[in-house]
Amino acid sequence: MTTTPTPSGRPAPATARPRRARGLRRLAMPLLLSCGMCLGALAAAGPAQAGQANDTVVETTRHGGRTVALTFDDGPDPDDTPRLLEVLRKHRVKAVFCLWGDHVEEHPELVRAIVAGGHTLCNHTMHHDDMATWSPEDIRADLAEANAAIRRAAPGARIPYFRAPYGSWGQTPQVAASMGMQPLGWRLVIGDWEPHSADEFARRITEGVTPGAVVLLHDGGGDRSATVEAVDRAIPRLRAEGWRFDKPARRG
């Protein structure tokens, strides 16, 4: 056992140490309780509220360089999402699925299939409305409703991203970040809401991609069979040119 020097340099009497220890314990108790309350609050808020998102719209991958992130909006769709999941599984690529709440409620089994495939979820609002002029309160209510629908379909699912319909952001980035979701934009959009061939969409992907780009595609909101086929063709071409597939950045 060591002794504690007094200001004079002599060891403190043995009888003084227990009293000091009890005093330290009394002083430490409120601090421990306070820390416990802080940790409890963070746990209740979840990791996202602990500062893992901000209101900058991210458009690049986590690692930059010759990497690309594939993201798919407006699903899930009973025709095209299952086929897309097969294509991604075949090529061993993980993607981000930006889910439309109404479609989630119609096809909850597809949300579970997306999660089971190891893909990342993104809140794309409940009803795909243009929120450019919405108040923060109305935005929060819609995003919370969409999150709840996703988590009813896939309990415990993480939803680390938010994407505004039409890229019409308004005050959504600030609200999404406060809810722990990073606003997710894009660097390349191939316009697959217009009717074109799979060859044309594949060309737009392979020729339009730039280092670290997030690519916007669709697996819902219409017939996206050409998009799915284009992805099937584009992935091996990109790999042959030295591209790697990555996730979007987690913070701006």
Residues with a known catalytic role: 73, 218
Q: How far apart are CA 85 and CA 98, in angstroms?
A: 14
Q: Are 73 and 124 in contact (CB under 8 A)?
A: yes
Q: Are 124 and 181 in contact (CB under 8 A)?
A: no
Question: In sequence order, what are the residues at sequence separation of 6 or more whose Cβ sits closer than 8 angstroms to the Cβ of residue 161?
Answer: 96, 98, 120, 121, 122, 123, 181, 182, 183, 184, 248
Q: Are 55 and 183 in contact (CB under 8 A)?
A: yes
Q: How far apart are CA 190 and CA 214, in angstroms?
A: 12
CA distances in angstroms from 245 to 97, 109, 176, 233, 239, listed in the order given = 15, 26, 25, 15, 9
Question: In sequence order, what are the residues at sequence separation of 6 or more whose Cβ sits closer than 8 angstroms to the Cβ of residue 210?
Answer: 187, 188
- In 117-216, which residue ranges form alpha helices assigned H by DSSP? 136-153, 172-178, 198-208
Question: In sequence order, what are the residues at sequence separation of 6 or more whose Cβ sits closer than 8 angstroms to the Cβ of residue 91?
Answer: 232, 235, 236, 239
